[in-house]
Each structure stands twice: as structure tokens, then as C-alpha cells.
Amino acid sequence: MEAVLKAFYEQQPNASAVKERVAFGTSGHRGRSIERTFNASHIYAITQAVVDYRLEAGYQGPLFLGFDTHALSRPAWECALQVLAANRVPVFVEKDHGYTATPLISQAILHHNHPEDQAAPDVALADGLIITPSHNPPEDGGIKYNPHHGGPADTDATGWIELRANAYLLRQLEDVHTVSVDEAIAHAQEYDFTAHYVAKLGSVVDIAAIQDANLTLGADPMGGTALPVWQAIAAHYHLNLEVVNTTVDAEFAFMPPDHDGKIRMDCSSPAAMANLLNIKDRFDIAFGNDPDADRHGIVDANGLMNPNHFLAVCIDYLMTHRPEWAASLKVGKTLVSSSMIDRVVASHQRELYEVPVGFKWFVEGLHEGWLAFGGEESAGASLLTRNGKAWSTDKDGIVLCLLAAEIMSVTGKTPSEYYRTLTERFGEPFYKRVDTACSPEEKAAFKNLTAESVTEKQLAGDPITAVLVNAPGNGASIGGIKVTTENGWFAARPSGTESLYKVYAESFKGEQHLDELIENAKALLAGVLKG
């Protein structure tokens, strides 16, 4: 890691090279110091751009600043502080300058801007920055911005910040204000994110039910920010909960390699979760989180639960165990999440809110309290409190783990047993994602696709029921295409970083039909992308 840290401070990005500029994807700006895509210069420029954005937006409250356990996160945190202090922005950081999980930042922003869950027009609005590349490899760095609503910034905000940050890079940071690290740290105010968050957990999950059931629980923070949170939860609520790994190591040397041999702290991957899976029989139910704790991994006697399956279980359970939730509340999913969710939601006479990939599309509904639950197939979700108020407008991996424990405590079923009852009612879906190499021209062609691009009437033997290039929930472009039938669907979208496109597909008619559906999808796409 020495070379990675050295490069962070010493390597200067070339702002004229597209690859070395600031680029906000679905989860902020990410990169590597040795590739000149995540260096001190990027953090200085991004933070100054955020300061400018706050000024434009009229934010006068504090900025909540957190970082995770990746090697580059603490240095980037210090760089951000240098700029914030120089610009006299009030900053709250975790007490003792510890690391901070994403949902805790989101919750803190919401609590400040809506004390006692009420809109407060006179409150000086707060926002947040979180330094994390999520589950990415140890050498990666990342930074994301959460404005006043507490969730991921939308493309208008990130586009503005990106443009302004790159302008600073082009001018070699000459307009960026900084102070010394010591002065910056002295400027920051400490805030006990963990204590505030843990104390309120009973408002979003039934902690009393978990206590009464006295389940044996295991939690693996995977060397991330969930560690102090799980320790505090166990102590505060006197749960029979063991934190199975208390190691924090910037190299993440304790991690088993992921399916491709890389170290990646992905709690939805059976390979990356091998340490917890090896000891699963010690627990009634166990959990894992990625380094910034916005994702969840649920382990029961059956092994690691498929994220799609768990989302369906959560939704079915919540629809019958949240009596204070209004019948008008919608349920959110991304368009590549399982259509088992569609069937569950329909069975409860609820409205499905289907959006493009990216948690940012759920923020407005969670913030305003008309979206009961928002989840995506990559093991990220959040939900309203038990009385229907905003809890976290960013993904909350910790609450989703506790919800798994609540479900088992109340129903007596493990989440995978519960899912089996859903397949008995609605059929069993088979789901797969495949990546297909494509040319730059084919990638570009995705932007021009319309519903009329598909002239076929059938897909894998079934009549096509819909061709979508915009999400049905909010009308936003999906950046690709989705084709549905009564028994299956596929969605395709180009990769943002590689010369390939991703095909997601699902069938309720078995694995053979799923393979047929994927082959049909690839043939159809080959035709429409060539025009």
C-alpha cells in the first residue's frame, strides 16, 4: 500500500486526459492513485466544487464528513477537511476521528434538516461527503456527495460538481483554498454518529421482537465501518450477537478472493463471504456488510441469500407487519431486480415504482415519505420507519440485516425458508447476468434505441408484452432497453467503463428457458444495435 499512498500525494492528474478527470458515476467519483484517477488533486478540486455548490444552493448548515477503512480514505478525508476548513464550512466528523458508515451520514443529515421528523423551514441546511469506494478492491478510492435530502446526489448536482471540479484541475488548483492538516482537524467538530444512529434503531425495526427471540446472531463487518456499529448494537440492546471479525486492515488481507481472484469486499458474493459461510452453523442467522455498510449480505442455514430473493422477502413481510404504513405507499425496485417483486407487490394491491439502475432514483420517495421501500438487485435497500417517516435516504446495510433478524424472530422462518413460501405462491424465477463484448459504435447505439427498435413479436416462445427504454415508475431513461413477456424478461445496458454491454434476464419457466431467453436477447440486440 505504500506505493498507493505515495502516488496519492505525488501523482498529478492530467486534466486534459479524459480518463484522469473527475467523473461522477452512479456512486460518486472512484479511481486509483497509481492510475492518476484518485489523487489529492481530485479531492481538493471536488471538495472546492462542493463548497461552491453549497453556496449556490444556499446551504449554511454543517457538512457531515465520513470515511471508510480503505487505505486512501483517511488521506482523502484530510484533504477534504483542508478545503472545508479554509472555506469556513462547519464540519462534523465521527468522534475520535473514526470512520463512519454511509447510512449514519444519511441519517445525520436527515436528523439535522428535519428535527423530530418535521420539516423545519428555519434550519440551516446540512449535507455530507463520504469517502469510500464501497466494496471495491483495497487500492481503490472513492468520494460521494449527499445533499440536503441525505441520499446520493442526482445527475444535475453531480454534473455541476464534476464540471466545476475539472475546471479547478485545468487551472492546477490555483483557486482552491486549503489550510494545513492540523488546522483542518482542529476546525472539525466531533459528532457521535454511532450513538445517535443506534439509539433510534427501534423506530425502524422491531428490536423488542429480536430481543425476545434471543436468536444467535453473527455479524461480519468485512473490515469496514459497520464494526463499531455492530459492537454498539450488541451492547446497547443486549443482543446475543457476535462480531466474528474485528480486524481492520487497509490491505484487507483477511479477505478470501472473489470469484475472479481479486480482493473485493462484496457481501453479495459467496466467494467473498466464504469466511462467514464457513461458520454459519454457529448462528441462527448471520450478516455481512461492505466497507461503507450500505450493502447487506444475509446468511442462514441455506447459505448466502440471493439479494433479489431477500428483497422479495422483505417486501412481503413489511406489507403485513407495518400497520402504521398507509395503503397508498409505493414499493420501489430497479428495472433489473427480480420480477418476483412485481408479483409480491401486486398481491398486496400496492403500486410498484420501477426505476433505472441507481439508488438515487429512490431518494425523493423515501425523503418525502411516499415510498415505503426501495431496493436494488446489488444488495442495497432502505425503508421508512415503522410510523412511515424517512429513516435513511441512502442504502442501509445494517438495518436490512436487522430486518432479517426481525423477520426470523416474528415468523419463525429463516429468510430462505420464507422465500420458499413465495415461490410456492408465485412460481420460481431463474435469474442471470451475462456480459457481451461490443464495439464503441454498438455501445453508442444504445442511446438511440426506442420501443420501435424491436420489431419482433416474441421472445423465447412467449409474446412480448412491453419494450421499455424509459422506466415505468418515473419515466427516466434506463440507458438501455428492457423487453418483457408474461414469463420472463431481459434488460441490456452498456458498461460505463468497459467495451461490453450487460444483459440481465429472468425466467419463470426454468433454467433452459432462461438460457433460451438470453440467446434470443443477444440475437435481438445484435440486430438492433447494428441498426
Phi, psi (degrees; rounded to nearest 5) at 354: -100, 125
Residue with cell 419463525: 412
SS (H, E, C) 85-109: HHCCCCEEEEHHHCCCCHHHHHHHH
- Distance separating alpha carbons of residues 426 and 418, to the nearest angstrom: 13
- Of the residues 134, 378, 416, 507, which is catalytic? 134
373-410 burial string, b = 16+ CB within 10 Å, else e? Answer: bbbbbbbbbbbbbbeebbbbbbbbbbbbbbbbbbbbbb
The helix/strand/coil state of 129 is strand
463-471 — which CB contacts under 8 Å span 24+ positions? 468/335, 471/335, 471/354, 471/355, 471/356, 471/361
Least Cα distance to 64 among 92, 42, 94 occurs for 92
Contact yes or no for 468/481 (Cβ under 8 A): yes
- Distance separating alpha carbons of residues 462 and 379, to the nearest angstrom: 30
521-524 — which CB contacts under 8 Å span 24+ positions? 521/459, 521/483, 521/490, 521/492, 522/436, 524/454, 524/456, 524/459, 524/483
Question: Quick check: is 134 catalytic?
Answer: yes
* Cα Rg of the chain (Å, integer): 23
Least Cα distance to 387 among 205, 135, 236, 197 occurs for 205
- Distance separating alpha carbons of residues 294 and 399, to the nearest angstrom: 9
- Distance separating alpha carbons of residues 422 and 313, to the nearest angstrom: 8
Contact yes or no for 255/291 (Cβ under 8 A): no
The helix/strand/coil state of 272 is coil
Contact yes or no for 137/262 (Cβ under 8 A): yes
| Residue 508, C-alpha cell as written in the block | 419463470
Least Cα distance to 373 among 398, 391, 346 occurs for 391
Question: Which positions are catalytic?
Answer: 134
